[in-house]
Amino acid sequence: MSYLLNDPSDFADEMVEGFVSAHPDLVRRVEGGVARRTRTPAGEVAVVIGGGSGHYPAFAGLVGAGLAHGAALGNVFASPSAQQVCSVARAVAADAGVLLAFGNYAGDVLNFTQAKERLVAEGITARTIAVTDDISSAPASERHDRRGVAGDMVVFRAAAWAAEQGRTLDDVWALAAEANERTRTLGVAFSGCTLPGAEEPLFTVPPGRMALGMGIHGEPGLEELPMPTADALADLLVSRLLEEFPAAGELSGSHVAVILNGLGSVKSDELFVTYRRVAALLGDAGVTVVRPEVGELVTSFEMAGVSLTLGWLDDELEAAWTAPAETPAYRRGTDHPTTGEEAAVEDSEPTHVAPATAVSQLAAGTILAALLAIAATIDENAEELGRLDAVAGDGDHGIGMQRGANAAVRAAQEAVEAGAGAGTTLRSAGEAWAGRGGGTSGALWGTGLRAAGDELGDQAPPDAARAVAGVTVAAEAVADLGKAGVGDKTMVDAMVPFTEELRRRVAGGDDLAVAWSGAARAATDAAQATAELLPRIGRARPHAQKSVGTPDPGAVSFALVVTAVADVMARLQLAEGT
């Protein structure tokens, strides 16, 4: 559990504020995360890493000379939003482009990919690399589906070294990709971790047992085994990883980067006891260990666990792995100066309010009322949504929805006060939801609201037909971004029935309030029906069987949202006496 916190929803932001205050000589605060204190030199690719908070030293602690130029930081265990990634990238980009590097999780892939597309559209060359080192999360034949854990470090070091050599963006990406291909990780957990403010851990391990193959977001292990001795654990981890030896030629004579990583509660003394056996086993296999790292590099709050990473090195990767570095959490034989041209603090861009008709401004007020109701509903149900998500995921859905919905309200209030129409208000709310909510849900809700806003615009009256069109394009945008369909056990399983029922009722002559209410009931029924489905995509997929009997939290939250909107419509209709 977390002992020192204020409001749990502010935990990540306050953590970043304190981190920057503690390391002002190395890092600065930028919108969406942190960056090196000094500017990126001309001709140097900027390496931007990122992921959810709660994993320190990853990701903020790895910003500095010899490592990342910036880090985008999401909420606890939730990916940073596309807006956050773009903001950090803009803050550190010079003229050689940006490499975005992150672990292979659904929310990170969505948001970093969106960010890359936005940066390219702005004229900033960008590429992405998703780290896939965790051998427990998918078979070798499906390496592209594996998640990224402590092996991130090998990939980040390779990218940063190539960037500081003055290589092109394509060459930096290529070396990072080569590092990813050569890196493997396996971890175990002896206990679960607890989100700030929560009373119970995301998962538990029976006394005397360990979970093999846990994830850094608190995903349960794929297999339970008896608690081993330190030497037996080393034997297990080393043997499983050597089975995946990826480099050409004989294992004997290989040079390997080694990371023995503590996940929160397993501290250095125990890690050293275990490492002595790891080193001996690798020596017996004829492997040369290069500059091993034993300590905490990627954590998961108070989770008791450990992971072992092996990165097979060629000459270039060895040069990258052993190069000097100086960051708040990682310092190695550095000769990098910490002085240089100070980077300016970027001001946030003002909200642009397009001209709007009076009828569209009136509709914007209704949208604000709906968002207020949505935020109140999510606040009431955040704990339950988190509980549903923790069954097979990481338990962050409730707090992510809560942050996103409340941010959307604030953005909509500003837009309405500035005279915005319906379209601009929805787009502003969507940007805020994605930016503050983070994670998969933040990306999806942000995309849906922006798509609906584009469809409604700020001129035409938002009548029932236009509302149906807005909902339709929003559903299509969400499905396209998330690559989900009906039956995948996602938000789409409630969104599609809602959209179809709304369209059918409006076409049949129902007014919008009546049609919306009926469609909300259809969404609620569909959300509950997801309890019997197996997830086919997303973070819950590796633990699909665990989720049977529990409805999908994204589908449930969607049903709650549209039901809250239905209540607002009914109240407004009653007030108008219709």
Catalytic residue positions?
Answer: 217
Helices (H), 196-349: 230-242, 268-284, 315-322
CB 253 within 8 A of CB 179: no
Structure tokens at 270: 């125990």
Q: Which residues pair with 26 in a beta bridge?
A: none
- Alpha-carbon distance of 406 to 27, in angstroms, equals 29
Dihedral sign of CA atoms 58, 544, 82, 379 in order? negative
Q: Which of 77, 82, 283 is nearest to 196 (CA)?
A: 77
Q: CA separation (Å) from 39 to 28, 46, 143, 283?
A: 11, 10, 36, 42
Question: What residues does 131 pair with on adjacent strands?
Answer: 103
What 3 state SS string does 417-439 have? HCCCCHHHHHHHHHHHHHHHHCH
CA distance 162 to 66: 10
Beta bridge mates, 20: none
Euclidean distance between CA atoms 20 and 36, whole angstroms: 10
Select from 367, 305, 298, 381 the least CA-distant residue to 103: 298
Nearest CA to 196 out of 377, 31, 15 is that of 15
In the Cβ-directed half-sphere of 151, how many Cα atoms lie within 13 Å?
33
Pairing of strands 126-131, 98-103: parallel
Strand partners for 34: 29, 71
Q: Burial code of 421-453, b = ≥16 C-beta within 10 A, e = fewer?
A: bbbbbbbbbbbbbbbbbbbbbbbbbbbbbbbbb
E strands, 463-545, in order: none
Q: Are 492 and 447 in contact (CB under 8 A)?
A: no
The residues near 25 (Cβ < 8 Å, ≥ 6 apart) are 37, 338
For 483: left if phi > 0, alpha if psi spans -120 to 50, otherwise beta; the answer is: left
Q: Are 443 and 401 in contact (CB under 8 A)?
A: no
Rounded distance between C-alpha atoms, residue 183 and residue 245, angstroms: 9
Torsion of CA 426, 430, 436, 438, to 10 degrees: 160
